[in-house]
Amino acid sequence: SGESGAGKTESTKLLLQHIMNLCKGNSQLEQQILQVNPLLEAFGNAQTVMNDNSSRFGKYIQLRFQNNTVRGAKLSEYLLEKSRVVQQDAGERNFHIFYYMFAGLPSEKKEMYGLLDPSLYRYVSGRFGTQDVAQRWKHKYQEVCNALDMVGFQEQEQVDMQAILAGVLSLGNVTFEPEESNGSVKVSEASRGWLKAAAVSHKMNRQPYGHSAGSHWHPAVSCFCLLCADARDSIAKVAYGRVFGWIVSKINELLAENVDPDVELREIGILDIFGFENFAVNRFEQFCINLANEQLQHFFNHHIFQLEQAAYKEEELPWETITFNNNEPILNLLLAKPLGLLSLLDEQSAFPQATDKTFVDKLNSSFKGSLHFQPGRGRALGFSIIHYAGKVHYTAGGFLEKNRDTLPANIRGLFINSVTPLLSVLFTGNSHCRILLWLARLLICLCPHQHSLMVLMERMYSANPHFVRCIKPNSQKEPGVVDSQVVLQQLRYNGLLETIRIRRDGFSWRPSFEEFAER
């Protein structure tokens, strides 16, 4: 754990290499486990203002052992930041894979996928920079292709996948305008070519928006243009999310253990989750990320302070209790039922008439006087949470829509009927995928002491945890520079100063009675 850019993903890769080395690391499986990283980073990482290679999803890697040899592995992914596909703030980029494709695809392949100059696409932000950057991206694209081959993706699957990504980019350039004759909405004349390109890339039998997008709609045309734009962005986000989930499934097929089911395997799990974030503009995604980090901090406190000191008390050892910054009140504010922030968000999401403003009004009335909640100031719609790592102001726009995470049924039907086999597979069995998405969200968000312990927290609480605390040396993304104030702030809010005290004053060696008696 640690802030965004503190080195969690790099530490995870080093830890995996170390474990494979201890296993002698010669088997094909051990090499494959190490080689899936370029694939995950290309599709799941992006440049942010805090980190040039920021993980925009959480991953839990389970390594299964028999006789000190890796026999299998499984990867679970949580809360991919799909909104990044359609919107990036200043100084940020979309997922790496889009830039790698532009830099690495030969011209005939770009023509096949209908890819034009990257500067033309609304979903791809940021200047493409120097020739060196383009060359590095080209090399990364080759790494991705090698990883796809190694994981076992068929050539046609790789073609379909890149066609879907190209179609997503074309879809982003589709705009809408009012139909003057009947007050409905149609695709603008200027973007009909982009719509055709998206439909061709996704091999749809008919285009996802007809000549007129709903002639029964009237008179608030500008509102309907926005609704069409929202539906367009929803399609792009869901399509990308399904591709990412499919890649993870293929990786798990490759890495699954091939042993007798009766054989008991030991397990090491590594949780590499997005770090605490506080940007100039913080949205629903930052809220989910920071909530997950609140969970991890509570888990850390539980093991390092509560269990440790309870053991000393049980043994009746002379001990002066070490106080620590308990973040349980913050978790109660966010997760309590029926009046925690998430419960109120779900309640508002269930009302068709509810808006982000009614949601914020509900928060302001429910949490008036709370030490960990502050209403927004001025006309901007938002609120602040005093997290364990500091105060974060959240922009409330989009909270309800992102929490609902829905896709119109007629649009889903178009994908299911696509003649691209991969696209049809990704959108079939949608209710099952929705349940998985809902579970994934709960895995991160549910409090460990609530009645329903989900799988991830159960695993963590039943295991013997080791905590790797990553400390960010400076806020400028500079190598070899240590800003002592930045470091000290992290040591304080992570509880590491109190951890040092409990380690210094506590009991490092804890023999069993048998060991003690023998000595």
Q: Residue 387 pLDDT > 80, yes or no?
A: yes
Q: Are 141 and 100 in contact (CB under 8 A)?
A: yes
Classify residue 34: in a domain, yes or no.
Answer: yes
Element (H, E) at 110: helix 107-113
Choice between 17 and 127, residue whose per-residue pLDDT is larger: 17
Which residue in the list 1, 45, 55, 301 is annotated as catalytic?
Answer: 55
Classify residue 94: in a domain, yes or no.
Answer: yes
Classify residue 118: in a domain, yes or no.
Answer: yes
Choice between 203 and 394, residue whose per-residue pLDDT is larger: 394
- Rounded to the nearest 10 degrees, the angle between the axes of helix 221-255 and helix 409-416 is 40
What is the per-residue pLDDT for 429?
A: 52
Residues flagged as binding site: 2-9
Which residue in the list 51, 184, 301, 395 is annotated as catalytic?
Answer: 51
Count how many domains the chain has: 1
Instruction: Find the mean pLDDT for residues 191-208.
Output: 71
Annotate 473-483 with b (16+ C-beta within 10 A) or e (fewer). bbeeeeeeeee
Which residue in the list 1, 4, 48, 494 is annotated as catalytic?
Answer: 4
Catalytic, 55? Answer: yes
C-alpha 251/C-alpha 256 separation (Å) is 9
Pairing relationship of beta strands 58-66 and 69-78 according to DSSP bridges: antiparallel
Which residue in the list 114, 167, 275, 397 is annotated as catalytic?
Answer: 275
Q: Are 75 and 100 in contact (CB under 8 A)?
A: no
Classify residue 206: in a domain, yes or no.
Answer: no
Residue 185: CB atoms within 10 Å:
24
Domain that holds residue 237: 8-172+233-275+406-446
Catalytic, 355? Answer: no
Classify residue 459: in a domain, yes or no.
Answer: no
Which residue in the list 41, 77, 277, 285 is annotated as catalytic?
Answer: 277
Q: What is the pTM of this model?
A: 0.83
- pLDDT per residue as tens digits for the range 66-108: 888 899 999 988 888 999 999 998 889 999 999 999 999 999 9
Question: E strands within 143-255?
Answer: 176-178, 185-187
Classify residue 342: in a domain, yes or no.
Answer: no
Residues flagged as binding site for ATP: 2-9
Catalytic, 249? Answer: no
Catalytic, 214? Answer: no
Classify residue 117: in a domain, yes or no.
Answer: yes
Q: Residue 446 pLDDT > 50, yes or no?
A: no
Catalytic, 4? Answer: yes
- pLDDT per residue as tens digits for the range 17-65: 999 988 876 688 888 888 899 999 999 999 999 899 999 998 999 999 9
Q: Are 192 and 131 in contact (CB under 8 A)?
A: no
Token pair 């901090």 is at which residue? 297
Catalytic, 179? Answer: no
Q: Could you please report the per-residue DSSP string of 286-355?
A: HHHHHHHHHHHHHHHHIIIIIIHHHHHHHTT---PPPP----HHHHHHHH-TTTSHHHHHHHHHT-TT--
Classify residue 55: in a domain, yes or no.
Answer: yes
Q: Residue 439 pLDDT > 70, yes or no?
A: no
